[in-house]
Amino acid sequence: MAPGESWPCWRNTARAGGVIDRVPTPDGTTAPALTTPGTSAAAAASGGQPPRPGVALKAVDKDTTAGVLFGIGAYGLWGLLPLYFFALQPAGAVEIVANRVVWSLLFCTLLITVTRSWRVLGAAFRNRTVLGTLSIAAALIAVNWLTYTYGVTTGQAVEASLGYFINPLVSVLLGVFVLKETLRPLQWAAVGIGFVAVVVLTISYGKLPWIALTLAVSFGLYGFVKKRVGPKADAITSLSVETVVLTPLAAATMIFLGVSGSATLGTQGAGHFWLLVASGVITAVPLVFFGASARRLPMTTIGLLQYFAPVLQFIVALVVFKETMTLDRWIGFGVVWLALLVLTVDMLAASRRSSVARKRALREARADT
């Protein structure tokens, strides 16, 4: 999956009727919660016995710290992905993505075997709705991967990072036009500022920043499509189905490149060969980290951590790749960051209001009993 994933997730905490027993994972599906109904995380850690206040606090703090570290690990790896593509030179975007799909299939096979999920995977393939939806998701993520890899390998990593900066704004627009959601005033303000940023950057680049827009739209639609699958397929199953769908085309691409003499897999030495083979692990490990983080942290924290990836991509593009940033491009990026600041302020305020409402409802429920 591409960097910057930001699906809604909720921390697994106690509430009036027990705890949330299903926790959304990075791809919008659900997985078993970390504790059983009626048992807090701290109680579970202490063998099911009611913990002392100090013990409960330490357990929550430890869980939060682990969630933040896993989140930083996931977004950090996605943010440093351009360095991996740089190390794969002279391989081009098409060859890199084709290898990424094929070797990811091997890693998914290992995951399915270890988790004993072959029966679940078979059920997903027999369900036409699930298979059709995940096939669309596979096409969208293929477009996203190709565009991102092309941007990095052709000296346009700055614009590629822009795509993941504006992705949250695209997600907001999808909520309006697809889900018919009503936006809050600050969300409308953020979208308006984002539109101004696109205009400024179009003037700066002398063309529409199509790489950034393609990345933002494809990834926004990918997240939306994955959410439609819901609990019908877990994270590993979804990733495996998408990979299986893409593998025939990826394998044919690798064969074509090999026959035409354009492939670098077997012509650039053992180091290059194993770097390309490692693309399966490099694809899956951040997803595992993200899943571990999403189970432990509230949505607002994940929403803030998601900016870590494009910030790192932006820094790598400037410091390592030495890409040029003119004054008008700095202005354009500044406007984008202003839009994200407004969106973040709105998100934090909404989260605070929601938290206050939950606490009030909990107090009222206790008073009634």
Q: Kindly give the interhelix angle for 327-368 and 157-165, rounded to the nearest 10 degrees.
A: 30
Confidence of residue 57 (pLDDT cuts 50, 70, 90): low
Provide the pLDDT for residue 139.
95
Specify the higher pLDDT residue, 56 or 193.
Answer: 193
The pTM (predicted TM-score) of the whole model is: 0.77
Parallel/antiparallel/unpaired status of strands 18-19 and 14-15: antiparallel
Average pLDDT of the segment spanning 82-94: 93
Specify the higher pLDDT residue, 52 or 251.
Answer: 251
Q: pLDDT tens, 109-168?
A: 998 999 898 999 999 999 999 999 999 999 999 999 999 999 999 999 999 999 999 988
Lowest average pLDDT, out of 63-67, 129-133, 152-156, 295-299, goes to: 295-299
With tokens 């919008």, the residue in question is 28
Q: Which of 20-24, 47-51, 317-321 has the highest mean pLDDT?
A: 317-321
Specify the higher pLDDT residue, 91 or 54.
Answer: 91
Retrieve residue 363's tokens: 């107090």
**How far is the C-alpha of 88 from the C-alpha of 94, rounded, in Å?**
12
